Chain A
Amino acid sequence: MRELFLALLADDRGHGYEIKQTLEHEFGSVMPALNSGQVYSTLSRLDREGLVVGHEVDGDGRGKRIYELTERGRAALAEWLDSPVPGVRLKDEFFMKFAVAASAGLTEPAVLIDRQRREYLQSLRDLDARLASGVDKVAGELLIEGAVLHLKADLEWLELIEERMSVGVAS
């Protein structure tokens, strides 16, 4: 979250409300809606940490502050950009459900897998439908293709789990 703010300020200094608008516009449906208070409190925190600095703008009666990045801010941003997103993701919601349910004997593992498979296939269908109905941004297309590939991988994983199960490896 903080890095987003830094990135948004990298180009140009901006008002708090400009940042709020951009956030809403670009990431509105992914993040919970931020109200102005949350925006400004984040900016203040960044100010205290010395990553941004706020100026009073004269001639603007409402007394809004304009924020811009400091040197430390730029450095922090650069470091964020340079570090790759961690690759190892060992947290999977389905796997947790599967592990717990299977070991506790709560439900038939095969049924669980089947249901999940159907959900994945359905999601694939949903994503393809969305592609077919048109995505105006390239980023959107890429996002969907990424999700498709992840789903394909997940389906393969399901098959693997099923195979291992039939061989009798205890979960």
Chain B
Amino acid sequence: MAALLEACRLARSYGEGSARVDALRGVDLRVERGEFVAVMGPSGCGKSTLLNVLAGLDRPSSGEVWLDGRRIDELSETALARLRRRSIGFVFQSFNLLPTLSAVENVELPLLLAGRGRRKARRIAVGLLDELGVGARPDAAPSQLSGGQQQRVALARALANSPDIVMGDEPTGNLDSVASREVLGLLAAARGRGQTLLLVTHDARVAAAADRVITVRDGMLAEQEGLQPARRVTLPFDPPARS
């Protein structure tokens, strides 16, 4: 069965001659539908470049990217924009909510772009905000929300059109550990509903929640690890097991 996202021999370099930097050097990657894949690696290893190329935000120097059977690395900017409306949701480290729009207006945006009517878009947006636990103040400006709340709104925006895949670049990077945990929980819940996730992260906790962890080193994929289902953890004050 064809993978949802597939990359073949991806390469991306910047600059010329002696100043040339090879950010990606021949990366092959598959993400199946419904998978949660985490991408880790030391800083400067090229993981952000990889994500940008996979999301169509950057063009590879060579290689191919296929999303749901369609080749996307050669699409025009306009076609890519349309693709992003329906197929790719994005979550950023710095949230990137539009400051002049309220929370619900931010979430509505992809819905309106996809052609939904105003009222329907508003309804869906409000519902999403409620689901993610930030429905209390839909008309608040982003600057009035905490980091964790902003990221939840951003996640709602990414999920608005039920995209094929949600991609994130350090989604918990700017959050404290409590907010991190909450956002991770929401991501896991989305995954539980069948949402495909591809997240770049240096947060090991996020990686631990993934089905598969890909490590990038020096522009190449190093290893891909799948983890087992969770084993039982006993706390000191749990009643001792009677064997």
Touching chains A and B, CB distance < 8 Å: yes
Q: Which residues of A contact B (CB under 8 A)?
A: 24-30, 33, 114, 117-118, 120-122, 124-132, 135, 137, 139-140, 143-145, 148-149, 151-152, 155, 159, 163
Complex Cα spacing A160 to B207, Å: 18
Instruction: Check if B205 sits within 8 Å of A129, measured CB to CB.
Output: no
Scoring B181, B203, B236 by chain A CB atoms within 10 A of each residue's CB, the highest score goes to B236
Given the interface pairs A126-B230, A145-B177, the reply to whether A120 lies near B237 with Cβ below 8 Å is no
Q: Which residues of B contact A26 (CB under 8 A)?
A: 236-237
Q: Which of A26, A118, A128, A132 has the most CB of B within 10 A?
A: A128
Rank and list the top 7 A-B pairs by shortest CB-CB distance, nearest first.
Answer: A129-B230, A124-B208, A30-B236, A130-B233, A28-B240, A125-B208, A126-B230
Contact of B225 among A118, A131, A145 (CB under 8 A): A118
Q: Is the CB of B237 within 8 A of A125?
A: no
Set of chain A residues within 8 Å of B232, measured between Cβ atoms: 126, 130
Q: Are B204 and A155 in contact (CB under 8 A)?
A: yes
Q: Is residue B213 within 8 Å, beta carbon to beta carbon, of the partner chain?
A: yes
* CB <8 Å contact, A121 and B238: no
Distance between Cα atoms of A155 and B110 in the complex (Å)? 38
Excluding A28-B237, A139-B237, 18 further A-B contacts by CB distance (< 8 Å) are: A28-B238, A28-B240, A29-B236, A29-B241, A114-B223, A121-B225, A122-B231, A124-B207, A125-B209, A125-B227, A126-B231, A126-B233, A132-B185, A140-B237, A143-B236, A152-B204, A155-B204, A159-B42
Knowing A121-B213, A121-B225, A125-B227 are in contact, say whether A27-B236 is a contact too (CB < 8 A): yes
Closest B residue to A25 by CB, please name it.
B237
Could you show 15 A-B contacts with beta carbons less than 8 Å apart?
Answer: A27-B236, A118-B225, A121-B207, A122-B208, A124-B207, A125-B208, A126-B232, A127-B233, A130-B235, A139-B237, A140-B235, A143-B235, A143-B236, A152-B204, A163-B42
Give every chain A residue within 8 A of B233 (Cβ-Cβ): 126-127, 129-130, 144
B240 touches A29 (CB 8 A): yes
Known A122-B227, A126-B230, A163-B42: A152·B205 in contact at CB below 8 Å: yes
Q: Is the CB of B235 within 8 A of A135?
A: yes
Q: Are the CB atoms of A128 and B237 closer together than 8 Å? A: no
Task: Tell yes or no: B234 within 8 A of A by CB.
Answer: yes
Query: Counting CB contacts under 8 A, is B228 at the interface?
Result: yes
Which chain A residues border B177 with CB–CB below 8 Å? 145, 149
A29-B235 CB under 8 A given contacts A120-B204, A128-B209, A145-B177: yes
Interface presence of B115 (CB below 8 A):
no
Judge if B117 is at the interface, Cβ distance under 8 Å.
no
Q: Which residue of A is nearest B185, CB measured?
A: A132
Whether A121 pairs with B237 at a CB distance below 8 angstroms is: no
Considering the chains assembled together, what is the distance between the CA atoms of A126 and B181 in angstroms?
14
Given known pairs A126-B232, A145-B177, the reply for A28 and B239 (CB within 8 Å) is yes
Q: B44: shortest Cβ distance to chain A, in Å?
A: 12
Tell whether, in the assembled complex, residue B208 and residue A121 are in contact, meaning their CB atoms are under 8 Å apart: yes
